[in-house]
Amino acid sequence: MKKGQLGFLTGTHAVNDLYQGVIPAMLPFLMTERHYSYAAVSGLAFAASGVSSLFQPLFGILSDSKPRGWLVPVGSVTAALGVVAAGLSDSYLLTWIFVALAGIGIAAYHPPATSQARAAGGSSQKAMSVFSVGGTVGGAVAPSLTTVVIGSLGFDAGYLLAVPALVMLVLWVLKGPWMRWRGHEEAAPLMSGPAGKAAGDGAGPTDDWRAFGRLVVVIIGWSIPYVTVTSLLSLHAQRDLGQSEAAGAVALTSYTAAGAVGTLLGGWIGDRHGRMTSVRAGYLVALPALAGIVWAPWFPVLVVCAALFGAAMFLPFAAQVTLAQDYLPNRPGTASGLTLGMAMAAGGLCSPAFGWLADNSGLPSAFYALLVVFVVPVGLALRLRDRVLPVAGLRSTPTAETADSGAP
């Protein structure tokens, strides 16, 4: 494990996903100041996550064809500029375009950064969970930072939100001791397929597209409640439980901060008990936690259930990323782009529908529908199969491609 590289990449992940968290945190302020409807707010959520997700597979394919490490800082800076411009724009159309631009910047970051993190962390689930938790921490900080900057100073002070991305850009340009990767380390971490053959490894493992497709379906089902709860949780606290904007930010922060705990716990469980244990445990706990959000009678109950739901949803996160890369060992960037991108697009695409339902039938109805939808991925996640592959630099002879985790 290359701890210096992993630590720096974890920091860049925190910066990048800070902007992913800033956008939903901005929605209540946009709704209040510009009188947007639930549907309009959900449309912005789609611009952030849906458009971003549609672009991620493209960046994944580009990362597989040739190392493009420069997308890491460029993506985060683009996301920052999009967020700032969205806060300063006057029309809904311009706001939507700038939010979409921020989403594209977020998309550009993930495939190359995830491949680099897998290479730095080797075969450890804990290493990938550390990298993943960087993004979760960034998302957890975002609501409080947005409330302090925009809630106190207004959208005119939104340029302050760009400072973290600019600092990260400077560190990247300086190329200090935290950036000691070169050449092919920026590309596929699993030296199989074309890369492995070139290195003299022989045939190497093949891509299992069928298993990968099943995983994508599960992640699609994961993304719908994740994106919708992120978009509507703060509004749920304010509109249905009579809380303030600050209290809504607390609920959202609890949700995202608990995700960091769940990510680290999932990595620990994956290393000790197998990654499929963390996947199944996460989905089984998340379902009743979501029910608690739906039926929470008081704000403290909502916060507790949101925190439990956030932790449970991120328990399988690192395992899903590494499992996707092991299903497609010859295309790790594509695997990252599709699982973190195209699958997540479902959440963004469905978000306006839940917003429309909230406008017409109230927020509780939207959450009831969400609970029904989430039953499907929970059932499918219990049937996923593991696949264990060697990591670049850690094997001398081919090993078995698959290991049945006990699922039927």
Distance CA 295, CA 317 (A): 26
| Identity at 81, one-letter amino acid code | L
CATH number of domain containing 241: 1.20.1250.20
In a domain, 386, yes or no: no
Counted domains in the chain: 1
Distances from the Cα of 49 to the Cαs of 177, 250, 320, 347, 352, in angstroms? 33, 22, 19, 7, 12
Domain limits for position 192 = 3-381
Question: What are the residues whose beta carbons fall under 8 Å from the beta carbon of 89, sequence distance 6 or more?
Answer: 95, 98
Provide the b/e sequence for 5-32 (b: ≥16 CB within 10 Å).
bbebbbbbbbbbbbbbbbbbbbbbbbbe
In a domain, 150, yes or no: yes
In a domain, 387, yes or no: no
Exposed/middle/buried for 268, CB within 10 Å: 0-12, 13-18, 19+?
A: middle
Handedness of CA 97, 98, 99, 102 (dihedral sign): positive
In a domain, 396, yes or no: no
Handedness of CA 245, 162, 7, 123 (dihedral sign): positive
In a domain, 403, yes or no: no
Dig out the tokens for 188 from the structure: 């596929």
Residue among 21, 17, 23 nearest 43 (CA): 23
| Identity at 164, one-letter amino acid code | P
In a domain, 8, yes or no: yes
From the CB of residue 185, how many other CB atoms can be counted at a distance below 10 Å?
A: 19
The tens-digit pLDDT sequence of the chain (408 residues) is 677 778 888 888 999 989 988 988 888 888 888 888 877 887 887 787 777 777 877 787 777 777 677 888 899 999 999 999 998 888 899 999 999 999 899 888 887 887 787 777 666 667 777 887 788 788 878 888 988 898 888 888 889 999 999 999 988 888 766 565 544 444 444 433 344 444 444 556 788 888 888 898 898 888 888 888 887 888 888 888 888 878 888 888 888 788 878 888 888 888 788 889 999 999 999 999 999 998 888 899 999 999 999 999 988 887 888 888 888 888 877 777 777 666 566 666 777 788 788 888 888 888 899 999 999 999 999 988 888 765 544 333 333 333 443 333
In a domain, 400, yes or no: no
Dig out the tokens for 61 from the structure: 């394919």
In a domain, 70, yes or no: yes
pTM: 0.65
DSSP readout, 351-366? HHHHHHHHHHH-HHHH
Contact 313, 354 (CB under 8 A): no
